[in-house]
Amino acid sequence: MALRWEAKRPTEVRDYQIDWSEFLGDDTIASQTTVASGIDILSDGIDDDNQHITIWVEGGVAGTIATLTNTIVTANGNIETDTIYLPIVAQEEPVSLAEAKIQCRYFADDRDADLAMCIADARAMVEERSGCILVQRQFVKQYSPVRGRISLFEAPLVSIDEVSYLDGSGASAAYVGARIDNNSFIVPALGEVWPTPYYGEQFTVTYTAGYSEIEIPNVLRRAVLLAIVPLFERRPMSEEEKCSFDSLCDYRRLVTV
């Protein structure tokens, strides 16, 4: 079985999870190994429930697809392997290192690497708080339609890349009629309804969301800059900073994205 993870940028450090629960049933993972090509593994291990693997990765070359091969041995002696494909994308952060230095009033070069990580962390905070994706990339998530549509947290929605599911017999299938509605919903083709997946299963939706670099609203860039300072100074946000940050991140609620 081959999986495709959400894309990452070369400068990002990200964790990903492999869900082995469907394969395992009542069994558990006794040991695991992960081998990577085109990317570096910082750590990998079995989660506390003994049915998931979490892998932290860094690096990669923009425009390539890294691969990871995860092999597990179960408590009952079964062996299974998954191959994971991880696209590496090139889009830069919404604010530059120079802008961050001005914001932090720190102009030396000795903490550039630290400040670059703060930029990425601040951008992630804005994305999580606002639902607006500032680095356009691909997402892979599972959903069940509600009232005939799948509602996505991430916006703006750029494209639906794949909708897959297990059909009534438990076989892998793809639904090709899905379309975008109002920039943040996925609905079936006109005149159609969603197919019925295997009992208890959800649709796996692969989609691209986010602004291009020139489209990012200035108010969200300001939110990123505001969040960088306490991260760089290694302190919590003050109440005033948090109030301003929340206000800036309400951009999506106030306008149609």
pLDDT confidence of residue 254 = 67
142 is a domain residue: yes
pLDDT confidence of residue 183 = 78
Give the mean model confidence (pLDDT) for residues 52-81. Answer: 92
Q: Are residues 107 and 58 in the same domain?
A: no
Q: Are residues 27 and 82 in the same domain?
A: yes
114 is a domain residue: yes
How many domains, the chain? Answer: 3
Whether the pLDDT of residue 1 is over 70: the answer is no
92 is a domain residue: no
Q: Are residues 9 and 72 in the same domain?
A: yes
Q: Are residues 42 and 59 in the same domain?
A: yes
Whether the pLDDT of residue 253 is over 90: the answer is no
Q: Are residues 198 and 171 in the same domain?
A: yes
Q: Read off the pLDDT band of 256 (50, 70, 90).
A: very low
Token look-up 């505001």 returns: 226
Write the burial class of residue 170 (CB in 10 Å: 0-12 exposed, 13-18 middle, 19+ buried). Answer: exposed
Sheet containing 2-4: order of strands: 2-4, 79-87, 65-74, 29-37
**CATH number of the CATH domain containing 50:** 2.60.40.10
pLDDT confidence of residue 63 = 72
Q: Are residues 65 and 189 in the same domain?
A: no
Q: Are residues 113 and 224 in the same domain?
A: yes
Q: Model pTM?
A: 0.66
Whether the pLDDT of residue 257 is over 80: the answer is no
Q: Are residues 112 and 141 in the same domain?
A: no
Q: Are residues 18 and 62 in the same domain?
A: yes
Give the mean model confidence (pLDDT) for residues 80-108. Answer: 89
pLDDT confidence of residue 143 = 94
Supply the range of the domain harboring residue 201: 137-209
Q: Are residues 124 and 188 in the same domain?
A: no
